[in-house]
Amino acid sequence: MASHPVSASERPALAARATATALGLLLATFFVLPVPARAQVIEIASDGAVAVYDRPAVFTDAGVQPIPLARPTRSPALPDFRPRAARKFEVMQELSAAASAYGLAPELVHAVAWRESRFRHDAVSSAGATGVMQLMPGTARTLGVDRFDLRQNIYGGTAYLRRMLDEFGGDVGLALAAYNAGPAAVRRYGGTPPYAETQQYVAAIMGRLAAPAAALTPIR
């Protein structure tokens, strides 16, 4: 095939055709080859040069700037595969901090958590109560907390226990009954309701509070 010199008027058209060809080959390679899926930003300069960025980017006056990707966070609703000792340590820390925040004896908050869930954040009752201090969906909404989040669950439960103590004049037995059966039931019966579950609940926690520290059931 004979060749002929390229005139100055033909050069822009040839440069544009070459750029289009290179871009077409690049896109064909991207869509055909089995490479991992990724976002790409393609920049074509005024002189026809093509630059490809293989991560999210944004155009600014200073040029193309990559967009930093946020690290994924662990959902509190997912199973916690950390060692039992690490989970126990975190739960006990949060219980003590919540007790201090609401002016309660840590032994009381620990005893309620022990009775409610055996300190397990993944505990779910047949009634739908969730977490270490077993918050029901309606109670969590009233308190404005996420019951699937360990800290919010514990702080919400502790706040509710504080509220029950205030409502019943600091009577621990009545506050515990209200935590279990609801304050309306305690008011209706003028004391601990005659429910076997509630009476066993109050007796178990009061007995745990009265027991020597060495006799307390270890965390399982």
Q: Which residues are catalytic?
A: 116
Burial group, residue 25, by CB count within 10 angstroms (0-12, 13-18, 19+)? exposed
Using alpha carbons only, how large is the chain's radius of gyration in Å? 32
By DSSP bridging, strand 50-53 and strand 41-44 are antiparallel
Closest CA to 43 of 32, 35, 54: 54
